[in-house]
Amino acid sequence: MPVPKRDDIEIVDMEDIFKIPHLPAKYYGGELRTKNKSPDATFIFAKQGVSYNNEKEMLTSGILQMILGTGISMKYGSGGGSNKLSSAVCQATDKKCSATGININYSDSGLFGYAVTGTGYEMRAAVEAANKVFKETLSDIKSSDVEAAKNKLKSAYGYYAENDANLMYEVGTKGKALDLNAVFKSIDQISQQDVAKFADKLKASPSTASAAGNIMNTPVLQELE
């Protein structure tokens, strides 16, 4: 194999690469449905969330996620407990499905909503129950729920900080280490009005839905608007 001559090699100036303008990703909404042979199904419904680069908005969205619920925290827990979403879904399907609030933060934007999983033939009842709770929660942000959610979010950050990989992720994505005391202080400063304002933004956002598995009995996006 011939060796290229020095004059034939194009030298890339790294400074020119970093001058390329960053175009933020745009959120549009939409729907994706994927059928497979699994007897179970998973359904995700989301609105436009927030970026992790805005700490206040990210923590506000985290509080609302805790109000909706994030699944069973006890190892052998069942029935949803104080989780609004999972409790409603378990009751609607005799515990054959479960649900959790989702809050995914990217550099430009994010996704906020809920996820439902369970047996395919129970998915319509499960998704409709979760969607009802989601809409009702966004329309009625209670002060007591916000205060309880703040404590849950602090606990979640405490567990998160116990994992070294998570701490490395914080440094890699945000350029600084996670300061739990500063995060807790920022959480305390978020008001009921802040959470209600974020909820109003969600209601005005286009919707996104994704379903996979045995989706024959899973609602389409248009049915949930």
Is residue 79 predicted with pLDDT exceeding 50? no
Q: Has residue 43 got a pLDDT over 80?
A: yes
Residue 149 inside a domain? The answer is yes
Domain total for the chain? 1
Averaged pLDDT score across all residues of the chain:
89
Does residue 14 belong to any structural domain of this protein?
A: no
Q: How many residues make up the chain in this entry? A: 225
pLDDT band at 77 (very low <50, low <70, confident <90, very high): very low
Q: Which helix (H) or strand (E) holds 198?
A: helix 192-204
Tokens of 23: 């175009």
Domain, as residue range, for 213: 31-219
Residue 173 maps to a domain:
yes
Q: Quick one: average pLDDT of 61-72? A: 90
Whether 8 maps to a domain, the answer reads no
What are the Cα distances from residue 136, in Å, to 96, 141, 166? Answer: 23, 9, 33
The per-residue b/e assignment along 26-40, b for 16 or more CB within 10 angstroms, e otherwise, is: ebeeeeeeeeeeeeb
Residue 24 — very low, low, confident or very high, per pLDDT cuts 50/70/90? Answer: confident
- The Cα–Cα gap between 117 and 15 comes to 47
Instruction: pLDDT band for 48, please (50, 70, 90 cuts).
Output: very high
Candidates 60, 49, 44, 115; CA nearest to 86 is: 115
Give the residue among 38, 70, 30 at the shortest CA–CA distance from 153: 70
pLDDT for residue 18: 59
| Mean pLDDT, range 144-148, rounded to an integer | 97
d(CA 26, CA 48): 10
- At 170, the pLDDT band (50, 70, 90 cuts) reads confident
pLDDT at 168: 87
What is the arithmetic mean of pLDDT over 39-56?
96
Residue 16 lies in a domain: no
| 169/106: higher pLDDT | 106
Is 87 contained in some domain? Answer: yes
Beta strands 40-48 and 110-119, pairing class? antiparallel
Domain with 155 in it: what CATH number?
A: 3.30.830.10
pLDDT at residue 11 tops 70: no
Helix (H) or strand (E) segment spanning residue 127: helix 123-139
Domain presence at residue 18: no
Is the model's pLDDT at 6 over the cut of 60?
no
Residue 167 lies in a domain: yes
Look at residue 74 in the predicted model and tell me its pLDDT.
46
Question: Rounded CA gap, 99 and 34, in Å?
Answer: 19
